A and B are shown apart, each in its own frame.
Chain A
Amino acid sequence: MINYIIRRILQSIPQLFIISVILFLLMQSFGDPVATLGARTPPKPEDKERLRRQLGLDQPLYVQYIVWLIGNDWMLIDMDGDGIGETPGKRRGVLRGDLGNSLVTRRPVVEMIAERIPNTLILMLTAEILIILFSLGIGVYSALKQYSLWDNVITALSFVGYSMPVFWLALMLIYVFAVNFKRWGLPYLPTVGMFDPQIGKTSLELIRHMVLPVATLTIISVAGYSRYVRSSMLEVLNQDYIRTARAKGLRYWTIVMRHALKNASLPFVTLIGLDLPFLLAGAVVTERIFAWPGMGRLFLDHTARADFPVLMGILMFISVAVVVFQLLTDLVYSFLDPRIRLK
């Protein structure tokens, strides 16, 4: 097991390397961030030149990549343009946990991401728990009552939910539960941010603000996942060992919950495990609509400002999370299914 984990980690290194190269090349399409630099008094060309040297943008691409990767505190930067380096670099590079500084706020990217993660996590984990509960519940119910009226209704609804653009559902929920409830004098839900500044950061406020974004995320995902649970449940229910269990006279719910669901949930574990890191990325659109200060919003805000250290940092962070979750999923899978031996 330990060997397997170590080998998988070693395998993921070239993968992350390729990802970082793809992203780094993509970021080059931003063009020169200094060229579009603006202020009330536009910076002088020589200042721009200095800034470019300070950020290392005058260096060839491969040098920029190496600096991004391992930092430049071991070399001297040529700030005055005489061809001889004299200022020691300060960056420590991604490999030593330094994602660089934001071009806009000048703050370390690691800090900016760390600040947003709790906000995204609280939204996403709540949604994910509800997604798992509802998908399993609805999926199992549909599978047990295959082709019944309710199964058909659920099938139709899940198709609609699955095809629904996120923004359409979000706007619809806002329109009904915030706009119209307010209009009708009913207690209505807030739609913007995490807290009402006039009430303060209470947990009740947080919950009230979470209802609509969590509902949006949950409905969209449950639609797809419950179909998945239904079909894997149906497959398991048709197998011989279930018939055997029935013939033995086991109670219905014991068969469903212990024998069928446990095996049917195996592929579901994979699905959830592989999707989780993308939830971490934050549902960009949902966070935008509900003005939720999470990772997705951070990404969008800094895309608009061509702040590539931040974008690169967020994308690399997600990629690492994806790799880690892939490994975790495999480990959990081997734990749930003893037939699988990881070697």
Chain B
Amino acid sequence: MAVNTSVSNAIEIAPTLPEALSPLQLAWRRFRKHKMAMLGVGMLFLLILYVSLGGIVFAKGYCAPLGQELRYEAWANCADTGQVRQAPSRLYPFGTDSIGRDILSRTIYGGQISLLIGVAAALVQVILGTLIGAIAAYYGGWVDSLLMRFTEAMLNIPSLFLLIVAAKFFGGKLPNINFLGRELTGNVVFIIIIIGLTSWMYLARIVRANVLSLRELDYVAAARALGASNARIILSHLLPNTMAPIIVTATLGVAGAILNEAYVSFLGLGVPSQITATWGNMLDGSYQYIEDAPWLWFFPGTLILLTVLSINFVGDGLRDAFDPRSTRHL
């Protein structure tokens, strides 16, 4: 994929560099040369710029029902029933939705939440998967069999189905929360947790396999002989050596979580759209207007596609970068 352009650079600077680069430095060098990964980083940067600063530029307008000029998220939530499903125009560049809200500003504030859900759910997934995998492998015996039977059982249930059931029956019961000065539906937290709870299994198996082979190595025996506690051995001796799959899974997990949120919300079971927009809940019900108002689903759907695509590019680049065998491709 990536062309070997910077080999000459490497040769030029080689004399000034110490001979041994850390695995992380090597990975970073390979990552930088990965064209698609860098494209992904660039796209992600633009998307983050759009959702974080776009509100200052685009989110303002006259809200007729309230009779005043609104800015930022208030404008994104202003439902002007006189302007229902307006086609994109100068006033509403992305059109308006089924109850007359400005889609452009909703994609900005919804994007913040979708990205937040993606990152936080991936974090939950990584913490759970890593801990369960590491504990199962390190302690072995009945702990291992118990945890792995549970992991296998969870893997056998289609996760989208689990997600739908969980979303339906725990949803809507949480109070609103305040996050970074924004009022959010409690469902955001809930969706984060259930997406994390239904997606940790693959990582747990990868981490377990790695830790199983690592724990037999001499340096672990040495650490134990020096009196290191189990927690210390797991956290600072075993896990750092299985960081590569964890980082890759975390990255791809963000994309998976954004997609999962979109699916659940698309089915009308995710975050309710009244006070908190997400890219997912903007799509809820939009397919009923496919003939008359394609902009309802086109903009949020395309933003999801671009985000997931760029994260997958980055994840693929990371995977190649961490794989020592992948050097021949670069």
Are chains A and B native binding partners rather than an unrelated pairing? yes
CB of B313 within 8 A of CB of A22, answer no
Give A89 Cβ to nearest chain B Cβ, in Å.
Answer: 27
If A159-B36, A159-B313 touch, whether A281 touches B287 (CB-CB below 8 Å) is no
Chain A positions within 8 Å of B157 at CB level: 19, 22-23, 315, 318-319
User: Cβ of A153 < 8 Å from any Cβ of B?
Assistant: no
Kindly state the interface size class of chain B when it binds its partner: 35 or more
Give B166 Cβ to nearest chain A Cβ, in Å.
Answer: 7
CB of B158 within 8 A of CB of A281, answer yes
CB of A174 within 8 A of CB of B309, answer no
If A15-B149, A159-B313 touch, whether A179 touches B267 (CB-CB below 8 Å) is no
CB of B158 within 8 A of CB of A168, answer no
Interface residue from B161, B287, B316 paired with A299 (Cβ < 8 Å): B161
CB of B153 within 8 A of CB of A18, answer yes
If A303-B164, A319-B156, A323-B156 touch, whether A179 touches B169 (CB-CB below 8 Å) is no
CB of B169 within 8 A of CB of A29, answer yes
Interface residue from B168, B298, B304 paired with A303 (Cβ < 8 Å): B168
Quick one: CB contact mask for B135-166 with A, threshold 8 Å, 1 for yes?
00000000000000110111011101110111
Alpha-carbon separation in the docked complex, A304 to B164 (Å): 10
CB of B297 within 8 A of CB of A168, answer yes
User: Cβ of B250 < 8 Å from any Cβ of A?
Assistant: no
CB of B165 within 8 A of CB of A167, answer no
CB of A18 within 8 A of CB of B149, answer yes
Chain A positions within 8 Å of B287 at CB level: 167, 171, 174, 289
Alpha-carbon separation in the docked complex, A323 to B266 (Å): 30
CB of A167 within 8 A of CB of B297, answer yes
If A165-B259, A168-B305, A304-B168 touch, whether A285 touches B294 (CB-CB below 8 Å) is no
- Of all chain B residues, the one with the shortest Cβ separation from A290 is B287
Give A64 Cβ to nearest chain B Cβ, in Å.
Answer: 17
Give B320 Cβ to nearest chain A Cβ, in Å.
Answer: 11
CB of A171 within 8 A of CB of B301, answer yes
Chain B positions within 8 Å of A30 at CB level: 169
Alpha-carbon separation in the docked complex, A164 to B309 (Å): 8
CB of B160 within 8 A of CB of A284, answer yes
CB of A165 within 8 A of CB of B263, answer yes
Chain B positions within 8 Å of A179 at CB level: 290-291, 294
Quick one: CB contact mask for B155-183 with A, threshold 8 Å, 1 for yes?
01110111011101110000000000000
- Of all chain B residues, the one with the shortest Cβ separation from A20 is B153
User: Cβ of A327 < 8 Å from any Cβ of B?
Assistant: no
- Which of A168, A285, A299 is most buried by chain B, counting CB atoms within 10 A of its CB? A168
If A14-B149, A30-B169, A163-B309 touch, whether A300 touches B164 (CB-CB below 8 Å) is yes
A residues neighboring B (CB under 8 Å) = 14-15, 18-19, 22-23, 26-27, 29-31, 155, 159-160, 162-168, 171, 174-175, 179, 278, 281, 284-285, 288-289, 299-300, 303-304, 306, 311, 314-315, 318-319, 322-323
